[in-house]
Structure 1
Amino acid sequence: MKHFEVNFDGLVGPTHNYAGLSFGNVASLANAKSSSSPRDAALQGLAKMKALHDMGMQQGVLAPQERPNIYALRQIGFTGTDAEVLAKAAQQAPAIFQAVCSASSMWTANAATVSPSADTANGKVHFTPANLTNKFHRSLEPVTSGRILKAMFSNERYFQHHRHLPDNEHFGDEGAANHTRLCQDYGLAGVEVFVYGRHAFDSSKPAPTKYPARQTYEASEAIARLHGLSEDNTVFMQQNPDVIDQGVFHNDVIAVGNRNTLFYHQEAFANTEAKFAEIQTKFGDDPVHFIEVKSAEVSVQDAVNTYLFNTQLINLPSGEMVIIAPTECQENERVASYLAELVTRDTPIRQVHYFDVKQSMRNGGGPACLRLRVALNDEELAAANQHCLMNDALYGKLTDWVKRHYRDTLAVDDLRDPALLEESRTALDELTQILRLGSVYEFQR
């Protein structure tokens, strides 16, 4: 039986914009109010998906959410036709209005936490959508994320879906952005590493003071219970509170793991030595490669600005491990020099491939934010929705779809245009037919 790690990248939605909604995300705030290009953003994302497919990787597509979210505006008291609701909200509550227009679901690392069948008690692949309670604009996502995931992985023989955790900051869950899995092979039982920012029920424990810790220990524990994981294959690590206060809002901004390798910054974790020893003990006799980037080599600020760690760490079909990095890493002299030297060392990482995802980067998300990793065996892969798996034909359909439906430029003020809502619904309705998702959006139900 063959085993794969499939990357499901989020399609950028038609309302991709720079409203600067994410406090604690330095890039998001720095580019607030700039004009965006939804078309370029979507095409950049598709180009990365196609490139990884062409490298021989199993690559999938995850649909965006419906935006503007008219239903959220109606829930908080705005009334009238859709156009009237948009106009009233934009005038009376502009910050809320911008939040319900966010295309943040493009960062599918936050869509869910996934545990492969090799790790779970019942031998199924488990999915739990993230509740994303820390940011209002992202807290609107989990119900639709759950529907989309169920439409992609519907066979109950192989897949089990859970409801997102309680909508409360005590169980703040940001999905796979704070979760990584280490293993010898994707088909073998691994060690699932959950990284949290704070304890919700124990204020005496360390926590950041400037920016919020979005993932709680209690949420991570709950996901492990839901997925039927055992104490033998889980490790709970705390993110360094000081590094959160430097703009590292998710663990995948400061560390990335793949198979037997964890690539991380010196300042990433609290209690690093003890936790790494625990990981190694649970991993077994074969060594885990802990590749530390020291602060003297790359500062936290450079790591955040270039998203050195918000890169994809993947194994090509040849077995070679490579980094998929944004071009910002190539453009920063210190980071580029570090990566050039890294691939000459005696580590599993042998190459770096650079990709232009600037439209996403300006809003605070790099290559790792754009993908949800799902480890599957060949039977599970065959049971998944094949219309969501990248190939030449799908790439052609989706690039044509984007060019027909997406605006070339979008300013924040354009979000109030009722025509944008209709354009988005028309596009998403066609997309569900291309991907064979059924009625996953509220306007279709």
Structure 2
Amino acid sequence: MTRAIMFRRLLVPLVTALVLASPSEITEARSAPGRGAPKPAGIWTGTWEAAASGTVPAPAGASIRNVVHTSVGGRAARVRLSNRLGTRPLQLGSVTLALQRPGEPRSPGAVAGSVRAVTFADARSVTVPAGRDVVSDPVALPVPADANLLVSVHTPADSGPATYHRSALQTNFIAPRGDRTGDESGAAYTTTVASWYYVTGVDVLGPSAAGSVVALGDSITDGTGSSSDADHRWPDRLAARLRGLPAHRRPGVLNAGIAGNRILLDDRGPSALTRLDTDVFSRAGVRTMIVLEGINDIKGTPEQKDPGVLENAYRLVVRRAHARGIRVIGATITPYGGHAAYTPAREAVRQAVNAAIRTHRIFDETADFDATVRDPARPSRILPAYDPGDHLHFNDAGMRALADTIDLRSLVSTAYGRLPRPAEVRAHLPVRPLSPRSPRPARRP
């Protein structure tokens, strides 16, 4: 091989990555750490994510306390805040990070002594331009895995519509007046909301080289149908399975689900194709992406009637991910027979798309969610034991079944990308017998 050929092979991936870099990523890179901030040793890993799904009027002069749940822990953290969908510069007077009191998911109170000021290039306040995200300086707060954090922000002035994640399935809090971000007591937070405001991610610093896994999806990934304030979405359940591994081998799990999301068209939030840069590629340590998208394209308005169009969209997602060194697991689209939007013609499209996912080698690996949750007696419907009543989404048992479908060997890697042998994974994973109420996943067809 000539030196010229070797140079081109090294240069092409680098140029591709630069071309695909989003403006948000560039803003984030310039904002952290500040000049006076230490450069901590270790590896940054995403522990929590919420994708920006829209905007909502923001209460000027208020403090908002967001409750977020970690998948992995670390000895320090940094916070991602977004004005991505805003129309005016966002003024943040102060931001803090704290641990929520254990066992109190509906409480705005912080663990005593855990409140930390969050800075941006060493400043306590920051103005985020419209259309941009910002990442904080490192925050010296040990963060446990499987714990709730409080991300509190104070907006001293009217900055226009707030970028938010609408369906949090988590109780969050507002103190209507003044800067209460430093409060340990939650007494001032007298109003509750069911959305996350401004905060779109938390990263942790630690020794793990396992990286993170991003679940890109719609309302099923967002958790619709599961219990509120319980962290029972299927990505949460996946993170719980991974906690059976040693901490240094455990990847973070990031939930990039948006209720109503489509892969092709903007609807509730930017389309999956539109938001790959901001919701996947800009996240810390991403090694793997799990894609569960397409049902809203099939049953939405306008509806997608051509399975080949969706297949081509999946292939584009995979090509863009591979350009970043990210492997992609494709999940089959789950049944929705009995839902108001169901028709035989749309079911035929779903079946054709699933057949392509299983047999056309679109993805690096396949997670057959459809085979796991469908009713063998009525394959167009989900099992009654998993149905919260709308025949489309999943209850807590269904969310667990989806998470259990993922082969953990496809997620666990070292810094050099070697996948462990099955025995290595099994040696560290707890054995979970199937309960009588959780039917055994169906075999792949």
Highest RCO, 1 vs 2 (Cα 8 Å, sep ≥ 6): 1
TM-score between both structures, scaled by the size of structure 1: 0.29
TM-score between both structures, scaled by the size of structure 2: 0.29
Instruction: Compare the two structures and name the one with the higher strand fraction.
Output: 2
Instruction: Compare the two structures and name the one with the higher helix fraction.
Output: 1
Larger Rg: 2
